[in-house]
Structure 1
Amino acid sequence: MVRHLLDNENIIYYIKNETLIDLIPLSSFALGGIKLYIHKSHLTKAKKILDQTFRRNNHLRIV
């Protein structure tokens, strides 16, 4: 879902550890989960989109 939202807005991003965690789910704890990196020129726009979309889900943390 996050990919779809960012792609629709032409936001440059990179998702780290996604494939490895799909293959070895227990590695999530060791790797710190799936990480989303957003290009600094798109950061403000991406935060706004993700905050609006996931406002009710307190478990999503953008750092």
Structure 2
Amino acid sequence: MDLFGMRLEELAHKSLMHILETHPHDGFRSCSGPCQKHRADTKPDSHIAGPVGIGLIDMIREA
């Protein structure tokens, strides 16, 4: 599973619940944006720079 939850359906429900309880995403949306923007600004050739440039931070914030 990645940031976007791709292939989420491949996890058993019980396993997914365990993952979410063990690793909650409390505050993730508010904390990840500034970190990703900083990375994109300081390393414009990084893998995250492209997605940030097309609105990834807003997509996460609105999720």
Question: Which of the two has higher C-alpha Rg?
Answer: 2
TM range, smaller chain: under 0.3
Identify the structure with bigger relative contact order (alpha carbons < 8 Å, sequence gap 6+): 1
TM-score by length of 2: 0.28
TM-score by length of 1: 0.28
Structure with bigger helix share is 2
